[in-house]
Amino acid sequence: MKTGIVRDDRYINHGHESHPESPRRLQSVHAMVDSPEMASLFVRIPPRYASEEELRMVHTKSYIEEVAATEGQGIAWLDPDTQTSEDSFQTAKLAVGGVLNAVDAVVGGKVNNAFALVRPPGHHSHSRRAAGFCLFNNVALAAQQALKKHKLERVLIVDWDLHHGDGTQDTFYESNSVLFFSSHQYPYYPGSGALQEVGNGDGLGYTINVPLATGAGNAEYLKIYQQLLVPATLAFKPELIIVSAGFDTYFMDPLGGMKVTTEGYAYLTRMVMDLAKVCCKNRLLVVLEGGYHLQGLTASIKAVLLELKEETKTQPKMLEMIASGASSDYDAVISKVKDKLCDFWYK
Ligand SMILES: [Zn+2]
């Protein structure tokens, strides 16, 4: 497998070390990907600064100007959680540009799959406001790039971050070109993501929310994804799969209450890779969102990268075996999601 990687020192230039979404998150990840055993495995995809026209695929002009006004300033706050520093506007544009270049590389066939190691994260960012550590919605812009520039008709976004991807959901809530699947701790920040939120208008049925009580680990996540993501994806037939990859479901994450381990992220990656193989010539783009336990974040990203590259290759039987050990605590939510969307994906 040819696996691309977006990795750039400039992604450190945003925010402060006292904030959970700190520059230190990527410093330890960079040391890992630069190590001799890893560095030779991946194709570097150089990032670029996204243009205003590209940002406008999701964001309003006035919101882009609001973020631009923070340039050169000290600490500023765009919302109670979302801090900027003097370089944040440029770094956020570089995050978008890195992700857009990764879309081009994956859809253009330069690589089979890719991991964009960018910050700031994006999935809480709305068209006209920042939220939850996110400035511009990297993943929503990536999907728009695939639809508008590459003329794809169906893109799947899988959001396995601990938190609901509310900004991404809002962007495509009335669209049937994007199937948005989010599993998240619930009730929790940002408050949205109830299973009744299933899209609207043309997008009715194209948003799948799986709200979860705390405590889900590898087995439970695999079972939920096998039962809910796999059939919906096979029916939707995406031409590209994008993952909003948060690692705050890690069992030691300071913000989360889930129990996923490093291996668990490799298993989820394999499941999504298997879907990409069946549906869309392996086309898969993984984009970094949250994850605040520094060692856990680095080890988990490494596990995902090695699975993407097929240095490790989790077998389907292994996934089945692990999922079969899931507690029944999440069976009710699986049934409710299936009932709610039985006319669309779970006939
Ligand atoms: Zn998160």
The pLDDT of residue 192 is 98
Ligand 1 centroid distance, CA of 246 (Å): 6
Spatial separation of the C-alpha atoms in residues 105 and 111, rounded to whole Å: 6
Q: Nearest CA to 205 among 227, 226, 236?
A: 236
Ligand 1 centroid distance, CA of 201 (Å): 28
What band does 141 get if pLDDT is binned at 50, 70 and 90?
A: very high
Amino acid at 189: Y
Asked whether 122 and 95 are in contact (CB, 8 A), the reply is yes
Asked whether 182 and 199 are in contact (CB, 8 A), the reply is no
Q: Mean pLDDT across the stretch 56-72? A: 97
Ligand 1 centroid distance, CA of 45 (Å): 25
Q: Mean pLDDT across the stretch 281-291? A: 98
* b/e map 134-144, b = 16+ CB within 10 Å: bbbbbbbbbbb
The pLDDT of residue 287 is 99
The set of catalytic residues is 124
Spatial separation of the C-alpha atoms in residues 104 and 144, rounded to whole Å: 12
Ligand 1 centroid distance, CA of 343 (Å): 30
Q: Give domain limits for the chain.
A: 3-340
The pLDDT of residue 211 is 98
CATH class of residue range 3-340:
alpha beta
